[in-house]
Amino acid sequence: MPNAEHRFCVRHLHLHANFKKDFPGKVLKDAMWNATRAATKNSFDFHMDELKKLDVKAYKWLVKLDVRTWSRHAFKPRSKSDTLVNNIAESFNAWILEARDKPVLTMEIIRVMLMQRLQTKRDHMRRYEGRVCPRIYKKLERIKSEVGHCISRWNGESKYEVKYIYGGRYVVDLNERTCGCGRWGLSGIPCFHAVAAIIEYGEQLETYVDIAYTKETFLSCYQWMVNPLPSHE
pLDDT tens digits, one per residue of 153-200: 999 999 999 999 998 999 999 999 999 999 999 999 999 999 999 999
What average pLDDT score do residues 41-54 get?
A: 96
pTM of the model: 0.85
Strand pairing of 159-164 and 169-173?
Answer: antiparallel
Walk across the sheet containing 178-179 and list its strands. 150-154, 159-164, 169-173, 178-179
**How much is the pLDDT for 196?**
96
- 139: enclosing H helix or E strand: helix 134-144
* Mean pLDDT along residues 207-216: 96
Nearest to 226, CA basis, from 142, 96, 109: 109
Number of Cα atoms under 13 Å in the Cβ half of residue 37: 8
Average pLDDT over the chain, rounded to an integer: 90
How many CB atoms neighbour CB 85 within 10 A? 15
Measured CA to CA, the distance from residue 168 to residue 163 in angstroms comes to 6
pLDDT tens by residue, 122-142? 999 999 999 999 999 999 999
Provide the residue ranges of all domains of the chain, joining segments of one domain with +.
Answer: 10-79, 134-215
